Every structure is written in C-alpha cells, then in structure tokens.
C-alpha cells in the first residue's frame, strides 16, 4: 500500500464562485493570501493560507505568489473540426457554414488529418486554461473517435459526440438514421464514462436533421442513461425562418427538439439569440442550459444575447467560445466579450468580475450536470486548477501591482490575460499543461 497523501498546499491569491452570483450576493470568494490543499487529486481545503497550513502542518507547500489560482475553465460550446476556419470574418451564419466551416468539416473524412487537428485542438484547450469542454465532434465516426482518444491522452475532460445530419449540408456530411444510430452506439460503448470522457448526442441543428434523425437522438438518450445532449438553437434569423419552413407543425424552434424529448438537465443548446418569451420559459422549466457565445454572435453578426431575460426567467446559462465561428479558445476573453456586448445591448446587464468568473467556470459545470465534481474550489471537488501569472513586462503585471482589492485584480485578469499568462493547468491535481 502506498503512503497516505499528506497533501500539496498551493499558496497564491485565489478566486472561485461556489454559489451563483446572479442569484446570491457575495457569491465570489476570494483570498488574497490564499491556500489550496490538494490531496489524492481532490480539493481538501481552500481559503486562507495560514489557516490551512496550521491545520495541515505536514502538507508540502508550493509558493505561487505573484500569480493567481482559478478553477479550471469550462467551455460549453466549441467545434473541434473548425480549428482551421478561425478568422473567417465577413459572413453570416449560413454563408459562413457553406463557404468556410463545412468544406473543412468534410476533410475530417480523412482520419489521419482529423487526428492531427484533434491533437492541436486539445492542446489549444489546455494552453488556454480550459479543463472541461463540451465539443461538437465530426460528422465521421473515426474522426470523432480520434478526438476522444486525443482527449483521453491530454487528461482533459472532454464531452463530445459524432455530429448527426441527414439533409441541407453537403452530401458527404450526411448520414442515414441507421448509420447514425450504429456509429453513435459504437462510440458510446467505447468512450462514454471512460476516464474523464462523456458522450453527448449531437444533432447539428434542426435545419440539417430530419424527424427520423431526431428520433434516433431520442432513442440513444433513452437507451443510455447519463448521456449529455448538445445542439444549436435560435442563432440566426434566416436559420430560424428555414427551420419554421421545414417543421411547419412546430410553433417555434425549440418545439422541434421538445417533440423528440431533447432537452432537460445535461442538455446544452448554443446561442438562443432570438428566443420567443415562451421558449425562454420552457428552457427554464426543463433545466436545459444555453451556451452563450458572444464572440461568435458578434463575428457572425448573429445578434445580441438577452442575458437579462434568461437570468430573470431562471434559464441556466454558461459560456462557449464557438470555435471556429468565434474568435479563439480563450474563455477569459469570451467572458470579457460577454461583458462588452452586455454594455451596449439595449437591455444589457452590467456584469461584475464574480459573474464573469461564474460564467466561465461553475455555470459550465452546472450546464453539463458536473457541478458535483468541478466548477469551484469547494472541498471534495476535483482539483481542476488554472494558475495565471502575467509575464513581467506585460501590461497586466503593471495593473496587478496596483490592484487594491481582489475584485479589481480579477477584472484586470479578464481584461488582459491571454494564453501567455496561463502558466500551469491541472486536472485532478495532475499537470496537463505548463
């Protein structure tokens, strides 16, 4: 038997949101001289350094002062086959799909090409501090398997699935409902709940899925308890009009998914930029989460997300980078973009640093139904940690030297920290990026 783990005590200012700051005051917890005790890959204690050291005199201390500790970032909407289409500016959703995204997605038919992209993709997640991601796989089983395999090697938490479509895209991206069912089942058997991997049933969007394909999704979810679900919803007005034409029986976009039982806790629908009041109410009632992707919404001109209406109705919201419709892998930048767009939206909310941190961490854990495991530094949770330290000559360092309180420092981190400031990333206490 191995010796008991006496614990590793990290010393640095730390921030986390063990509660929802949209619902409760003082949800942001910060400790200027913070301590984080890790034992057997879990958070054993978090809070004031001296208090934790006194209670755990045998723990090994690592002094990380000069930097900051945050919970691992959680990206709830991102497409692995779109890494190489980042930067395709100047189009709106449907043209961008046809001209930029779908040609590259078709290249994923080549398994060795897909594997190269998967390797770069998981590296980019880790190097930006993302420890958990809900990822659209490829339209091909082998490419999606490659993502799961590279995800497992990386140590990150990857929730993903083969993307299902049987119309409206390019023919080479279409499956039949029968092949979709077979491939999904094979992937679920190989990867669901293996290590840190989870499987998510992933119809691309109502526009590209027939009723028979949505029925396949429903069947998969019924047959395999614990699967997650992801798709797109109400992103673009032309898309919404087209969905209305294809499903004349549906009173709105969400109703298409609801007809097939697709939604509820552990389901994440991206965007919802143009919801009806009824859709917002039904999302709240079912516990379906919305992945808000402000960089993508601006880059594709999709529109301004009504964060206030969602929060007021009680819809779960989290953040997604939406690579490649978005502008990169940085979840800190995504939270800043949410702040910026809310500042200019007609009914915008004024986000504070605690709310931005919550949206980039715990909110994602809640959306994925993983908040018992990750999302903040409460004792018992997995030690998924991002260590942020600005390069000495960067403007962020100059700002932080003068920060008068933790909240000011956190706001500066969201404003100025890029991948160059992500120094160390841990999942369950083990370093996955340095």
**Cα 343 to Cα 252: distance, rounded to the nearest angstrom:** 29
Nearest distance in Å: CB 412, Zn ion: 30
In angstroms, the CA 383 to CA 367 distance is 19
Q: Shortest Cβ distance from residue 291 to Zn ion (Å)? A: 8
As measured in angstroms, the least distance from the Cβ of 139 to Zn ion is 14
The least distance separating Zn ion from the CB of residue 195, rounded to whole angstroms, comes to 26
Q: Where are the alpha helices (DSSP H) in 128-176?
A: 141-154
With beta carbons less than 8 A apart as the criterion, state whether 197 and 191 touch.
yes
Binding segment toward Zn ion, per CB under 5 A, in 242-250, 263-271, 373-381, 387-395: 263-271
Q: Where are the beta strands (DSSP E) in 193-345?
A: 197-203, 228-233, 267-271, 289-292, 316-319
Which CB, 233 or 270, lies closer to Zn ion?
270
C-alpha distances out from residue 188 to 79, 87, 144, 178, 383, Å: 19, 33, 11, 15, 26
In angstroms, what is the minimal distance from the CB of 292 to Zn ion? 12
- For Zn ion, the binding residues in 185-224 under the rule CB under 5 A are none
> Would you say 77 or 192 has its CB closer to Zn ion?
77
Using CA atoms, how far apart are residues 201 and 209, in angstroms rounded to an integer? 13
Total residues at the site for Zn ion (CB under 5 A)? 2
CB nearer Zn ion, residue 270 or residue 413: 270
DSSP string, 46-102: EEEHHHHHHH-TTSEEEE-BTBEEEEPEEEEEEEGGGGGGTT--S--HHHHIIIIIH
Q: Nearer to Zn ion by C-beta: 132 or 415?
A: 132
Touching Zn ion, residues 293-322 (CB under 5 A): 322
Interacting positions 25-54 with Zn ion (CB under 5 A): none
Tell me whether strands 197-203 and 228-233 are parallel, antiparallel or unpaired.
Answer: parallel
Measured distance CA(198)–CA(133) in Å, rounded: 10
Identity of the residue, 16 or 274, whose beta carbon is nearer to Zn ion in the bound complex = 274
CB of 207 to Zn ion, least distance (A): 12
Q: By C-beta, is 134 or 432 nearer to Zn ion? A: 134
Quick note: the x/- pattern for Zn ion over 319-338, rule CB under 5 A, is ---x----------------
Q: Which of the ranges 9-17, 179-187, 267-275, 366-374 carries the binding residues for Zn ion, by CB under 5 A?
A: 267-275
CA distances from 241 to 12, 81, 283 (A): 51, 27, 20
Token pair for residue 394?
């960067």
Closest CA to 187 of 153, 155, 156, 158: 158
Q: Which residue is nearest to Zn ion (CB)?
A: 322
Of the pair 368, 382, the CB lying nearest Zn ion is at: 368
Taking the complex as a whole, the smallest distance from the CB of residue 134 to Zn ion amounts, in Å, to 11
The residue ranges that bind Zn ion (CB under 5 A) are 270, 322
């Amino acid at each position: 038997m191995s010796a008991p783990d006496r614990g590793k005590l990290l010393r640095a200012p730390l921030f986390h949101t063990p509660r929802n700051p949209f619902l409760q005051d003082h949800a942001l917890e910060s400790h200027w001289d913070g301590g984080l005790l890790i034992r057997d890959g879990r958070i054993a204690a978090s809070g004031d350094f001296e208090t934790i050291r006194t209670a755990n005199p045998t723990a090994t201390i690592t002094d990380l002062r000069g930097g900051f500790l945050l919970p691992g970032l959680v990206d709830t909407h991102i497409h692995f086959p779109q890494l190489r289409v980042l930067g395709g500016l100047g189009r709106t959703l449907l043209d961008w799909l046809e001209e930029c995204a779908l040609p590259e997605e078709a290249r994923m038919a080549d398994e060795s090409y897909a594997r190269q992209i998967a390797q770069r993709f998981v590296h980019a997640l880790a190097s930006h501090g993302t420890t958990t991601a809900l990822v659209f796989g490829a339209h091909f089983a082998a490419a999606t398997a490659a993502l799961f395999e590279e995800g497992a090697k990386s140590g990150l938490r990857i929730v993903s699935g083969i993307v299902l479509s049987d119309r409206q895209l390019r023919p080479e991206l279409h499956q039949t409902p029968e092949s979709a069912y077979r491939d999904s089942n094979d992937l679920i058997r190989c990867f669901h709940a293996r290590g840190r991997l989870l499987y998510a049933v992933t119809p691309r969007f109502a526009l590209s899925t027939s009723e028979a394909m949505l029925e396949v999704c429903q069947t998969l979810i019924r047959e395999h308890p614990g699967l997650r679900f992801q798709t797109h919803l109400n992103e673009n007005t032309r898309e919404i009009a087209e969905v209305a034409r294809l499903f004349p029986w549906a009173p709105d976009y969400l109703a298409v998914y609801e007809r097939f039982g697709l939604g509820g806790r552990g389901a994440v629908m991206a965007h919802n930029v143009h919801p009806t009041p009824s859709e917002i109410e039904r999302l709240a009632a079912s516990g379906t989460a919305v992945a808000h992707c402000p960089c993508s919404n601006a880059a594709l001109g999709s529109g301004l997300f009504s964060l206030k209406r969602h929060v007021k109705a009680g819809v779960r919201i989290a953040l997604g980078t939406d690579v490649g419709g978005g502008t990169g892998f940085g979840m800190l930048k995504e939270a800043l973009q949410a702040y910026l767009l809310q500042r200019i939206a007609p009914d915008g909310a004024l986000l504070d640093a605690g709310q931005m941190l919550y949206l980039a961490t715990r909110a994602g854990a809640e959306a994925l139904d993983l908040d018992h495991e990750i999302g903040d530094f409460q004792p018992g949770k997995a030690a998924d940690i991002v260590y942020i330290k600005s390069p000495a000559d960067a403007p962020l360092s100059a700002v932080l030297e003068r920060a008068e309180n933790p909240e000011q420092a956190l706001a500066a981190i969201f404003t100025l920290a890029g991948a160059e400031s992500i120094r160390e990333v841990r999942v369950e206490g083990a370093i996955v990026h340095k």
